[in-house]
Amino acid sequence: MKSKLIVGNWKMNGSLAANASLLADIQKGMSGVTCRAAVCVPAPYLAQMQALLSGSALAWGAQDVSAHEAGAYTGEVAVSMLRDFGSRYCIVGHSERRQYHAESDALVATKAQRALSAGITPIVCVGETQAERAAGQTEAVVKRQLAAVIHTNGHCISEIVLAYEPVWAIGTGLTATPEQAQEVHALLRKQLQAASAHADRISILYGGSMNAANASTLLDQPDVDGGLIGGAALKAPDFLSILASASC
């Protein structure tokens, strides 16, 4: 049985001083943690993560990667650059990237492919908006988003991490009930199993406002393999509480 995976997504937050303090507090409290843990940080802080976390139980990663290998793409960050700084993970297709940067399913799939080519595990995000859920389109939306990644990555799909993040539950104070989360996770698991004989090795994380108060009940669901944590990842006590819940 694979261990749970908890990944903190710091989004566009942090400073050198605040990061160092947060990581020190997290590392002090990790002695009893048995789950896998990581933080995905803004690209400018990857060097700091490499300096502070090398050899520790806490892995690190990026929040995005260019679909291009190299070249005249000002402002983009190549996967080789992420690898230079020891990145273990890279988030692709986060709802904020899809919404604010108009990232398509095909582009997200290509970014996942780019990460895999460099030995970095893409954390592929899928999820529906409130309007799509209200219209009964949840299944169609998440299956379409995942299908694009499966199509582009083929047998390598077993090397990804998948994160279900209902858009309506991100930063809104709303959270999917454990039953709602389990229903979508089971659906995604079935789709992965149809695509790969090694689908059971894929961790499916819940990414919609998991926090210290609700982590335990969400993580108790049979198809919830961990969490992609937003705001709670910026508070050491909250993040450690979630790690503890995932280590039970």
Q: Is 227 annotated as a binding residue?
A: no
Q: Is 231 annotated as a binding residue?
A: yes
- How many C-alpha atoms does 95 have within 13 Å on its Cβ side? 20
Which segments of the chain are extended strands (E)?
5-9, 36-41, 58-62, 89-92, 121-126, 161-164, 204-206, 226-229
Q: Is 14 annotated as a binding residue?
A: no
Q: Is 226 annotated as a binding residue?
A: no
Q: Is 45 helix (H, G, I), strand (E, B) or coil?
A: helix
Q: For residue 217, report the phi and psi dihedrals to the nearest 5 degrees.
A: -70, -35
Our CA angle for 95, 247, 222, nearest 5°, is 60
Q: From the candidates 96, 103, 128, 165, which is the catalytic residue?
A: 165
Q: Is 209 annotated as a binding residue?
A: yes
Q: From the candidates 94, 96, 103, 132, which is the catalytic residue?
A: 94
Question: Would you call 165 a catalytic residue per the annotation?
Answer: yes
Q: Is 173 annotated as a binding residue?
A: no
User: What ranges in 118-227 are assigned the alpha helix state H?
Assistant: 130-134, 138-153, 178-195, 215-219
Q: Is 11 annotated as a binding residue?
A: yes
Residues making up the annotated binding site for substrate are 9-11, 171, 209, 230-231
Residues making up the annotated binding site are 9-11, 171, 209, 230-231
Residues with catalytic function: 94, 165
